[in-house]
Amino acid sequence: MSNNFKPLLLGALAMTMIACNQTNPLLEQPKTPYGVPAFDQVKIEHYLPAFEEAIRQNKAEIDAIVNNEAEPTFENTIVALDRAGMLLDRVQGVFFNVLEADGNDEMNEIAEKVSPMLSELGDGIILNDALFQRVKAVYDQRNNLGLNAEQMRLVTETYKAFANNGANLPQDKKERLKEINMELGLLSLKFGNNVVAETNNCKYFVTDEAQLKGLPESAKAAAAEEAAAAGHPGEWLFTPKRTSFTPVLQYCENRELRKQLLMDYTTRGNHDNENDNKAVIIREMELRIEKAKLFGYDNPADYILADCMAKNHQTVDAFLQSVWAPSLAAAKREAAELQKMMDAEKMAQTPHTDDQVLLQPWDWWYYAEKLRKAKYALDEEEIKPYFELSNVRKGAFGVATKLYGLQFEPLKDMPVYNKEVEVFKVTDADGSLVGILYTDYFPRAGKRPGAWMNNILNQYVDAEGVDHRPVIINVGNFNKPTAGNPSLLSMDDVETLFHEFGHALHGLLSKAHYKSLSGTNTPRDFVELPSQFMENYAYEPEVLKTYAFHYRTGEVIPDSLIAKINAAGKFNQGFVTTELLSASILDMDFHELTTAEGLDVNAFEKASLDKMGMIPEIIVRYRPTFYNHIFTTGYEAGYYSYTWAAVLDADAFAAFKETGNLFEPETAKRFRHLLEQGGTRDAQELYIEFRGKEADPKNLLRRKGFID
């Protein structure tokens, strides 16, 4: 998932002093290689003074635009606004990345102080009528200014940013909007903090190794190390982190343990305690509905979607239903097959009983793994030794080299916020700098769950024509190395690494002139195309042979295993797609609400799942109380984007397949051009320019095995 922060409000870097007269590294131009942040010098006490100074400077820059006595022009208003807030960009780029990947209680407290300050600043800019009038003056005469396509896009998007965020509202509604935005910012922080607290507070210790029968030795070793670190040597610790509980769901014979850990994961934020998120959700929905109605929309979905490719909730609903029907039908067939396996197993154990044990969500992964092994002789534990983390990363890098000519050089002794972070210099085929890439792949107490890409520094071209190359980060939560093994990835983990690297390439290859249009600053239902496109390469035979080496022997993955992986490529896709689509539909149901009066979160979830016909053997991928995408990270009414973009990525990859060459140079050149454009062009126009036509949804359904 791409996770650009909410508008990183825009000014020149400066040097200042914090109250104790010590230099604040966040407010200096870093004396570091490639101008990366001086993470190693930043201390907790630097953040709040840095935010205060950066906000002060940003306000001064806005005042300078407003008070300019010259007539509004593209340069003195639109470009000046885009270039304002550079210092704040840098401060936010450090703080929020560290908060999400290596945070602590002190940083959470700072975030709670800073959130209303940033909300107030953002509203003070967007709702500044004098500023808007200057923007509108340029917008109104845009067709007579001789602007090129990117400049025209900047004018249009800047005007829309103001209009869509309240600039045209009457004063009383502007004041109410400020209050709503401030409260929503705090609620978003609270929701995310609650999920992290629930995840960290839930620890399940196993004292009898017999309870772990079937669990791979590597998973047991990791759980034993976690228990020892928690002060329980000789035991095994499991948590609601995916790297911890997923092996149990797949392999452990202990059905009660599987149930316990899945319930721990899926009930986070739903325990009626101090970390419960139900009241947070209700309040967020009340405010989102009120905000939508301020702008004349009946529901939040239509307000949010107006600036996306889909445009409205009817389009999204129809799209989701078109994929939901074949997905659910496939999931039902898969459930019947798993139930048959369960019945046969029970009959073998107790042949004289007629009592049927019904398939439950905590059984699906376990029997699916058994069925995969039976049908394809594919055991993920047999494959994982070939997926050592650094080799998989090299494989992803290698795809970018073959497609775009990029080179990746590890940089030592670079400033980082945690010793587990690694840094790479990315250069083009001609040796020119493309950007800097940080990777941070292991779970820790202060890191939020999941995987994501972020900009630390944006790409843009300054007034002197200097192209400032971006600094990008990929973050994950993969298995940590143990005393006996390196970090070995599951097949899902491999896809995740390729996915987030696709987002990174979108940011790294950016060639926009203006920061607000660069990199991943695109519509949300387009931004997942580059990431999901990269997933297609992960298991292609010619790619696997470049990175899948056995971590002990160095042996390249044998053709027999590659054949099994690809033969099983369409296995369990009904489950995978149904789990994802149900979360997308649930998201839309929440954001199509016209009132939150009487909203009961658990009852609403059940009604939504019942309406869509969700089968009881599958739990929705994200239940509401830990659904960070839509209640914390800005993907509300947007989770459908993953499936929308999947149609695009399947069609885009088909363009390469049709040539008979996965790295066909001319096709790769056209796709790189699409990545370089960022948000400088209309997304649909960009895609049609690459492909020569609109995306065909049948390529996705065919890839999943739903149609021939």
Helix residue ranges, H only, 377-475: 380-383, 389-404
* Spatial distance between the Cα atoms of 53 and 117, rounded to a whole number of angstroms: 12
Which of 157, 334, 388, 500 is the catalytic position? 500
3-class DSSP assignment, residue 327: helix
Radius of gyration of the chain (CA): 26
Question: From residue 527, how far is each of 226, 310, 641, 675, 678 by CA, in Å?
Answer: 36, 13, 8, 10, 9
User: 294 Cβ partners below 8 Å, 6+ apart?
Assistant: 166, 169, 173, 176, 177, 180
Whether residue 484 contacts residue 532, with contact meaning beta carbons closer than 8 Å, is answered with no
DSSP state of 71: P
Encoded amino acid at 349, one letter? Q
Burial class of residue 560, CB neighbours in 10 A (0-12, 13-18, 19+): exposed
One-letter amino acid at 660 equals G
220 burial (CB, 10 Å; 0-12 / 13-18 / 19+) is: middle
Supply 707's token pair: 């149609």
Q: How far is CA 534 from CA 122, 529, 537, 686, in A?
A: 35, 9, 6, 18
CA distance 400 to 377: 32
Rounded CA-CA distance 74/78 in Å is 5
User: Is there a catalytic annotation at residue 500?
Assistant: yes
**What separation, in Å, do the N-terminal and C-terminal C-alpha atoms of the chain show?**
30
Residue 673, judged by CB atoms within 10 A of its CB (0-12, 13-18, 19+), counts as: middle
Active-site residues: which are they? Answer: 500
